[in-house]
Structure 1
Amino acid sequence: MTFKLKSDKRASENKTVRFPLPLLEEIEEAIEGKDVTFSAFVIQACQYALENLEENQYQMFGN
């Protein structure tokens, strides 16, 4: 599965997360000039990680 940026505006809740400065800079560079907010990027990255984590867990247990 590939990671593709997309704009998304759904109901949400605020959470505070601390990011290392170099990671923040990389994210800002990745979304520069694209129709995606920082929050949307982080949400999509988390969804991608969870989907791939589940797939890897199934492979680990032979399912």
Structure 2
Amino acid sequence: MAFQLKSERKETETKTVRFPLSLIDRIEKAIVGKDVSFSGFVIQACEFALDNMDENEKE
């Protein structure tokens, strides 16, 4: 299954997360010209990772 960016908004809560600068650069390049924010990308990437984990890894 491929990761597909969506431009949807949901109820949110603010969390502080530190990212390596190289990862920030990669994410910013990936969202250029897309209708998605940095936060939106991170949320979707986390949802994708969780949805695609083996059941034993989720515990």
Instruction: Note whether the superposition's TM-score is higher than 0.5.
Output: yes
Question: Shift of residue 25 of structure 1?
Answer: 0.1
In structure 1, how many angstroms separate the alpha carbons of the residues matched to 2:7 and 2:32? 13
CA–CA distance in structure 2, aligned partners of residues 57 and 42 of structure 1: 22
- Point out where structure 1 has 5 or more consecutive residues left out of the alignment: 59-63
Query: Match for residue 21 of structure 2?
Result: 21
Root mean square deviation, CA, Å? 1.5
Larger Rg over CA atoms: 1
2:44 aligns with 44
Q: Distance in 2 between matches of 1:51 and 1:19?
A: 22
TM-score using structure 2 length: 0.88
Deviation at 1:50, TM superposition (A): 0.2
- Number of aligned residue pairs: give it: 57
Partner Cα separation in structure 1 for residue 55 and residue 14 of structure 2: 29
Q: Which residue of 2 aligns with 1:57?
A: 55
Task: State the TM-score, normalizing by the size of structure 1.
Answer: 0.83
User: Which of structure 1's runs of 4+ aligned residues deviate more than 6 A?
Assistant: none
Higher helix share: 1
Alpha-carbon distance in structure 2 between the residues aligned to 1:48 and 1:16: 20
User: How many percent identity over aligned positions?
Assistant: 59
